[in-house]
């Protein structure tokens, strides 16, 4: 079963490996072989062409432009650009707000990826069998995914309101001092992380549920007959089978940590004192609050 | 069948093309202009703006104005700058009054003097319509760059019911920092170490925090920035040190102010829910408080330590640079209409901002409104002692250097003195290129 699906993947990855090319005589003239190969894969390239054009125009072109622009600077929006070499990069690295944002982002990435993946796995294992109850629970856990991040942040803004918010109303009774969740520079980043975990765990659960479907039933049965306990089955069968899922989810979680800053934008604007500033928000802030890159004293 | 369909299609396309080509030549449509507007305070400003622009379009068939919501004051600056860079600036923007200087330095504003002259009025006559305190942020190098649209000052809001409960007389609100501290102590309720009711709350989030620091510094005799020149701020000064130390004392020493940085909406929610008995907030929130407070409240001047003084806040209408002449003219018509006594008064009643046009307070609607809501008078009276809002080269980053440090103090991470020294150093660094081009560019 699984080997078949693997082979399917292979053929997707190499669309050029058509049977014609494979059955061609091995000792053809090299140029001839090349043109032959090109001819056979021409339709594939033609089909890819539109995407390639757009990728080149809007992705790689823009990236290249950024790399070039990074070497130039203009003092005011209308001033002519001048070449400054690596000055811009040095200025960014010297900015404590940037290094702070990088550290915050690392804490944020690790602190959101691990708990949300752990929770997702836990949910998936608990809800892997399908019946009315687990379906309802799955839907409930998946619900946060359906709420747009901006709306969720606006909701959490009220939940986190100091003293009068939902959280303080309930938890506040058990705490000696009510924390200012988003206004305390020690807590704010963790408050933001909680939202991310709440929002993403259900999404990752979906991947683990799919991954669990691929765990071969016969192997599990055999292990069961051999007297393997639940922990041994998890450790030696389920987790190894889920390895590709782990890899995939980890990549997604890391990407999310770098690319999602909606909640930072809505809830804290990177504050207080840059405590919740993440790299992407820092970039946005820089581009907006200073019209050019941080100006340096350098008059040529 | 197929053939006829093809003909139909061809005709349809040809028709569209023809009408697209000939229509502008045949009938000159209305001049289409965009107005960027922010919603910086609580309330239903976006809906009110829709009502206002609809009325303008109905009464001015030659112009079709579209109101575009652009977020907070800071976001509106970002979006305006982005659209100027993209070569498609909006015809008019409601811009935070203290961003005008920075924009003028960057050549992003249209000088309004020629438009005023074309109307046959003088600058003095034109500016004479508005409260004098507002002119500092609208006039740069003796040229008019902005028209005051809605303005505010900070106010002290008091929950009158709670004050009476604590044995205080809300008709005699605190006038000095000493009295305010005393009130705040009496209005704070505790259960053990836990505070169940705060005496006072002052907002601190990016934008608001700088404004409150200017307010406290001014009432302590200070200036915050050089009103005449955009290259200097006065952070590391006794007047600001006193202001920040007092704010910090309210949090750590007297424990009558919630710790940490609390944004404006959280402060107003706290006040409305009775969790904070007093707050300092913009007059722009007055309508929101009036509509939502289920208790008697009172507004008062910001108490003084050295003198009574407050900065103005709010926004002016500007015309971004690089606008076509006909759109500029249409924008000017819109701006004059929006700042006329009637509309100015209407907007003031809808939002809580005071009307910058003095004649607005002589309209019958406004006289009636003020008789019914005497609290709206306090904001106007406080204008007597109002001064311009800090405006420097790169206003936002220069402001943020102070705000980040103030937040550290309110979170107990730094002492006021070292925070202000750090803020001054960072601000000076940001202002350096401007000084190099101006004050330090020597012959």
Ordered per-residue pLDDT tens for chain A, 300 residues: 444 444 444 444 444 444 444 444 555 577 777 777 778 888 888 999 999 999 999 999 999 998 998 898 876 555 677 888 888 889 889 888 899 999 999 999 999 999 999 999 999 999 988 888 999 999 999 999 999 988 999 889 888 888 778 888 888 777 777 788 888 888 899 999 999 999 999 999 999 999 998 888 888 888 888 888 888 888 888 999 999 999 999 999 999 999 989 999 888 888 788 899 999 999 888 876 654 333 333 333
Q: How far is CA B16 from the centre of its chain?
A: 46
Indicate the residue of B193, B258, B400 with minimum beta-carbon distance to A180.
B258
The CB density around residue B180, as the number of other CB atoms within 10 Å, is 25
Which residues lie closer than 8 Å to A231 by C-beta, 6 or more apart? none
Domain match, A51 and A125 both: no
CA–CA distance, A260 with A280 (Å, rounded to integer): 8
Mean pLDDT of B142-155: 92
E strand or H helix at A66, and its extent?
helix A61-69
Indicate the residue of B263, B270, B411 with minimum beta-carbon distance to A184.
B411
Give the pLDDT of residue A227: 85
Å from A156 to nearest chain B CA? 12
Give the pLDDT of residue B377: 87
Residue A261 DSSP symbol? -
Indicate the residue of A75, A176, A273 with minimum beta-carbon distance to B194.
A176
CA–CA distance, B240 with B217 (Å, rounded to integer): 5
**Contact (CB<8Å) B400/A289:** yes
State yes or no: pLDDT of B2 exceeds 60.
no
State yes or no: pLDDT of B6 exceeds 60.
no
**Contact (CB<8Å) B263/A176:** no
Where along chain B do its domains lie? Answer: 26-152+313-386, 154-312+389-437
Domain match, A111 and A192 both: yes
Asked if residues A196 and A263 have their Cβ atoms less than 8 Å apart, the reply is yes
CA closest to B262 among chain A residues: A183
Task: Answer whether A271 touches B (CB < 8 Å).
Answer: yes
* HSE (side-chain half, CA atoms, 13 Å) at A28: 14
Å from A116 to nearest chain B CA? 28
Task: Answer whether A69 touches B (CB < 8 Å).
Answer: no
Mean pLDDT of B318-339: 92
Asked if residues A264 and A278 have their Cβ atoms less than 8 Å apart, the reply is yes
Which residues lie closer than 8 Å to A139 by C-beta, 6 or more apart? none
- Residue-range definition of the domain harbouring residue A176: 95-289
Domain match, A215 and A131 both: yes
Q: Looking at beta carbons, which residues of chain A come within 8 Å of B230?
A: none
**Contact (CB<8Å) A273/B273:** no
CA closest to A186 among chain B residues: B411
**Contact (CB<8Å) B205/A295:** no
CA–CA distance, B287 with B323 (Å, rounded to integer): 35
**Contact (CB<8Å) A177/B194:** yes
Q: How many domains does chain A have?
A: 2
Give the pLDDT of residue B214: 96
Give the three-class secondary structure for A99: helix
Domain match, A25 and A135 both: no
Give the three-class secondary structure for A288: helix
CA–CA distance, B180 with B200 (Å, rounded to integer): 9
Å from B377 to nearest chain A CA? 31
Report the range out of A7-21, A259-273, B105-119, B237-251 with the highest average pLDDT: B237-251
Domain match, A20 and A150 both: no
Q: Please state which CATH class domain B26-152+313-386 belongs to.
A: alpha beta
**Contact (CB<8Å) B106/A291:** yes
Å from A258 to nearest chain B CA? 22
Give the pLDDT of residue A279: 92
* HSE (side-chain half, CA atoms, 13 Å) at A205: 29
**Contact (CB<8Å) A290/B394:** yes
Instruction: Tell me, yes or no, whether A36 lies in a domain.
Output: yes
CA closest to A288 among chain B residues: B78
Instruction: Tell me, yes or no, whether A193 lies in a domain.
Output: yes
Which residues lie closer than 8 Å to B147 by C-beta, 6 or more apart? B112, B130, B138, B316, B317, B318, B335, B336, B339
CA–CA distance, B317 with B147 (Å, rounded to integer): 5
Q: Looking at beta carbons, which residues of chain B come within 8 Å of A77?
A: 81, 84-85, 106-108
Instruction: Tell me, yes or no, whether A209 lies in a domain.
Output: yes
Instruction: Tell me, yes or no, whether A295 lies in a domain.
Output: no
CA–CA distance, A71 with A67 (Å, rounded to integer): 7
Give the pLDDT of residue A109: 95
Å from B316 to nearest chain A CA? 19
| Per-residue confidence band for B113, with pLDDT thresholds at 50, 70 and 90 | very high
Q: Looking at beta carbons, which residues of chain B come within 8 Å of A180?
A: 258-262
Residue B198 DSSP symbol? B
> Of A23-32, B42-51, B195-204, B246-255, which range is least confident?
A23-32
CATH superfamily of B154-312+389-437: Periplasmic binding protein-like II (3.40.190.10)
B407-419 burial code (b ≥16 CB/10 A, e <16): bbbbbebbebeeb
State yes or no: pLDDT of B163 exceeds 60.
yes
**Contact (CB<8Å) B261/A183:** yes
Domain match, A128 and A190 both: yes
Q: Identify the residue among B75, B276, B400, B431 best suited for mutation to test binding to A, counting A beta carbons within 10 A and taking the highest.
A: B400
Of B181, B328, B351, B335, residue with least CA distance to B253:
B181
Domain match, A225 and A159 both: yes
Task: Answer whether A174 touches B (CB < 8 Å).
Answer: no
State yes or no: pLDDT of B367 exceeds 80.
yes
Q: Looking at beta carbons, which residues of chain B come within 8 Å of A290?
A: 394, 397
Domain match, A144 and A240 both: yes
Domain match, A163 and A242 both: yes
State yes or no: pLDDT of B398 exceeds 60.
yes
Report the range out of A250-264, B79-93, B243-257, B383-397 with the highest average pLDDT: B243-257
- Residue A185 sits in a domain of what CATH number? 1.10.3720.10
Indicate the residue of A78, A157, A272 with minimum beta-carbon distance to B411.
A272
> Can you list the alpha helix ranges (DSSP code H) found in B273-340?
286-292, 325-338
Q: For A109-172, give the secondary structure using H, E and C.
A: HHHHHHHHHHHHHHHHHHCCCCCHHHHHHHHHHHHHHHCCHHHHHHHHHHHCCCCCCHHHHHHH
Å from B78 to nearest chain A CA? 5
Give the pLDDT of residue A22: 47
**Contact (CB<8Å) A269/B205:** yes
E strand or H helix at B10, and its extent?
helix B2-26
State yes or no: pLDDT of B416 exceeds 90.
yes
Å from B344 to nearest chain A CA? 30
Give the three-class secondary structure for B315: strand
Give the pLDDT of residue A1: 40
Give the pLDDT of residue A28: 55
Domain match, A134 and A218 both: yes
* HSE (side-chain half, CA atoms, 13 Å) at A273: 21
Å from A297 to nearest chain B CA? 7
Mean pLDDT of B121-144: 91
**Contact (CB<8Å) B405/A273:** yes
Whether ipTM tops 0.95, in short, is: no
Task: Answer whether A100 touches B (CB < 8 Å).
Answer: no
Instruction: Tell me, yes or no, whether A294 lies in a domain.
Output: no
Of B115, B145, B152, residue with least CA distance to B383:
B152
The CB density around residue A114, as the number of other CB atoms within 10 Å, is 13
Of B199, B381, B192, B193, residue with least CA distance to B301:
B381
CA–CA distance, B157 with B292 (Å, rounded to integer): 13
State yes or no: pLDDT of B40 exceeds 90.
no
Domain match, A166 and A241 both: yes
Instruction: Tell me, yes or no, whether A89 lies in a domain.
Output: no
Answer yes or no: same fold for B26-152+313-386 and B154-312+389-437: yes
Residue corresponding to tokens 């206004």: A183
Å from B176 to nearest chain A CA? 28
Domain match, A54 and A136 both: no
């Amino acid at each position: 079963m699984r080997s078949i699906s693997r082979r399917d993947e292979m053929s997707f990855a190499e669309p050029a490996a058509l049977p014609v090319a494979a059955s061609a005589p091995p000792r053809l003239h090299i140029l001839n072989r090349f043109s032959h190969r090109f001819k056979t894969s021409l339709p594939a390239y033609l089909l890819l062409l539109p995407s390639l054009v757009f990728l080149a125009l809007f992705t790689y072109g823009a990236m290249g432009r950024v790399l070039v622009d990074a070497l130039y600077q203009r003092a005011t929006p209308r001033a002519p650009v001048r070449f400054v070499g690596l000055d811009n990069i040095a200025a960014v690295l010297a900015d404590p707000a940037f290094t702070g944002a990088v550290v915050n982002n690392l804490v944020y990435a690790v602190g959101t990826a691990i708990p949300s993946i752990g929770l997702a796995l836990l949910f998936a294992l608990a809800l892997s069998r399908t019946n009315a109850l687990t379906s309802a629970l799955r839907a409930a856990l998946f619900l946060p995914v359906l709420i747009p991040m901006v709306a969720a942040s606006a909701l959490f803004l009220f939940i986190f309101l100091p003293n009068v918010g939902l959280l303080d109303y309930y938890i506040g009774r058990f705490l000696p001092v009510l924390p200012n969740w988003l206004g305390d520079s020690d807590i704010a980043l963790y408050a933001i992380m909680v939202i991310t975990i709440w929002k993403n765990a259900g999404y990752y659960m979906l991947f683990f549920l799919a991954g669990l479907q691929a765990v071969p039933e016969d192997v599990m049965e055999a292990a069961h007959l051999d007297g393997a306990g639940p922990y041994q089955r998890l450790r030696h069968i389920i987790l190894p089978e889920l390895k590709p899922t782990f890899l995939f989810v980890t990549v997604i979680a890391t990407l999310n940590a770098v690319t999602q800053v909606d909640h930072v934008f809505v809830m804290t604007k990177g504050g207080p004192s840059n405590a919740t500033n993440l790299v992407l928000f820092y970039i946005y802030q820089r581009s907006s609050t200073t019209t050019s890159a941080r100006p340096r004293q350098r008059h040529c | 069948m197929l053939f006829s369909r093809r003909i139909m299609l061809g005709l349809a396309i040809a028709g569209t093309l023809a009408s697209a080509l000939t229509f502008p030549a045949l009938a000159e449509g209305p001049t289409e202009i965009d107005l960027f507007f922010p919603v910086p305070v609580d309330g239903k400003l976006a809906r009110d703006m829709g009502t206002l622009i609809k009325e303008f379009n109905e009464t001015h068939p030659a112009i079709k104005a579209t109101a575009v919501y652009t977020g907070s004051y800071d976001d509106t600056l970002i979006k305006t700058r982005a659209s100027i860079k993209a070569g498609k600036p909006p015809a008019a923007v409601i811009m935070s009054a203290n961003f005008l200087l920075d924009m003028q330095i960057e050549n992003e504003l249209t000088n309004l003097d020629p438009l005023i002259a074309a109307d046959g009025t003088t600058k003095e006559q034109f500016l004479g319509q508005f409260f004098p305190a507002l002119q500092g942020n609208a006039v740069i190098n003796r040229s008019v760059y902005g028209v005051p649209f809605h303005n505010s000052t900070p106010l002290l809001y008091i929950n009158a019911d709670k004050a009476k409960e604590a044995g205080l007389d809300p008709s005699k609100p605190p006038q000095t920092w000493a009295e305010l501290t005393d009130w705040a102590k009496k209005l704070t309720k505790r259960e053990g170490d836990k505070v169940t009711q705060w005496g006072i709350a002052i907002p601190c989030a990016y934008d608001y925090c700088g404004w409150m620091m200017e307010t406290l510094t001014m009432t302590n005799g200070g200036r915050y920035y050089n009103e005449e020149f955009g290259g200097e701020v006065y952070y590391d000064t006794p007047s600001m040190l006193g202001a920040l130390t007092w704010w910090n004392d309210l949090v750590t020493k007297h424990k009558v102010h919630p710790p940490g940085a609390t944004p404006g909406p959280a402060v107003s929610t706290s006040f409305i829910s009775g969790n904070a008995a007093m707050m300092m907030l913009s007059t722009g929130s007055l309508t929101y408080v009036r509509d939502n407070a289920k208790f008697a409240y009172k507004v008062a001047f910001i108490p003084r330590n050295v003198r009574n003084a407050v900065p103005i806040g709010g926004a002016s209408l500007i015309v971004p640079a690089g606008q076509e002449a006909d759109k500029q003219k249409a924008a000017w018509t819109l701006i004059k209409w929006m700042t006329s006594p009637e509309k100015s008064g209407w907007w003031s009643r809808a939002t809580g901002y005071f009307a910058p046009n003095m004649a607005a307070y002589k309209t019958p609607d406004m006289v009636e409104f003020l008789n019914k809501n005497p609290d709206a008078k306090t904001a106007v009276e406080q204008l007597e002692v109002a001064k311009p809002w800090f405006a420097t080269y790169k206003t936002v980053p220069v402001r943020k250097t102070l705000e980040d440090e103030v937040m550290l103090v309110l979170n107990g991470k730094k002492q006021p003195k070292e925070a202000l020294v750090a803020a001054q150093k960072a601000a000076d660094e940001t202002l350096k290129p401007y000084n190099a081009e101006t004050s330090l560019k020597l012959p």
